[in-house]
Structure 1
Amino acid sequence: MSNLIQEFNDYRTRMNEVILSKDNLVIKRLWNLDTNTYAEGALSTKTKEMMGLVASMVLRCDDCIKYHLGKCHELGVNTAEMYEIFAVANIVGGTIVIPHTRRAAEYWEELQAQKTA
């Protein structure tokens, strides 16, 4: 696993453990709601993750973008699909999204390289 991916996953896991260890009921409920939102339903989990990625890009949240890129990768999104997702995010969000698209493309390339390694 590349350092870029490993560092993100390690940091996210470590900080989630810290936050959840404080046993705040509101945070736990919010995070549970988030988890359940992406569960299989009328829309597939894959579709929901792609929607989450577009929203994260438009909102310009790099951590969220990396998270959804990882989930999309796990769910079998291919590179052609990913660049259509990027296109939708750029049309909806405007040119301010371009720097996030660059970082998303870099992270996607790392995820793809993982498959072939």
Structure 2
Amino acid sequence: MHMDWQDLIAGLQEPLKQMRAGSSDVMRHFSGMAQSALKTGALDTKTKELVALAIGVAIRCDDCIAFHAKAAFQNGATREEVLETLGMAVYMGAGPSVMYASHAIEAYDQFAGGSQEHKG
């Protein structure tokens, strides 16, 4: 295992709590924007989480990868859907996205409760 993605999220809880306390107005609006963006419309929440995961890979944000890999799993994304999404992220982000795509599938596998054998 390269990184423990659940520990990464756990380690962010206190700093995020501090952000909510110190920038409550900004964070309240950010939370509202996230809730609005994730609301099912023409795209369901699972699809939106897959898009967010691809963007996290393309912009090379491990924290984004952790949160959106977990949310993709929780919203019913299969490993095959994640891998296809990561293929698009690689296509759009070239070589650096290949490296971060490996982070994203590892994160998804951990949140799905296992390893490469988990086929969703």
Cα offset, 1:5, TM superposition: 3.5
Report the equivalent of 1:15: 15
Go from structure 1 to structure 2 and tell me whether the alpha carbon gap of 1:108 and 1:23 turns closer, same or farther (over 3 Å shift). closer
Paired with 2:14 and 2:39, the residues of 1 have a C-alpha distance of 24
Q: What is the number of residues matched between the two proteins? A: 114
Query: After superposition, where does 1:26-45 map in structure 2 within 5 Å?
Result: 26-45=26-45
Moved over 3 A (4+): none
TM-score by length of 2: 0.82
Per-residue deviation, residues 58-104 of structure 1 (Å, max 9, x unmatched):
11111101111000010111111111011010001111111111211
Q: Where in structure 2 are there 5+ consecutive unaligned residues? A: none
RMSD: 2.1
Q: Which amino acid aligns with 2:62?
A: D
Equivalent in the alignment of 1:71: 71
TM-score (norm 1): 0.84
The 3-state SS of whatever aligns with 1:36 is: helix
Q: 1:113 to 1:19 in 2, by over 3 A?
A: same
| CA shift for structure 1 position 23 | 4.4
Q: Distance in 2 between matches of 1:47 and 1:21?
A: 31
Residue 88 of structure 1 aligns to a residue in which SS? helix
Q: Matched residues, percent identical?
A: 22
**Larger helix proportion of the pair:** 1
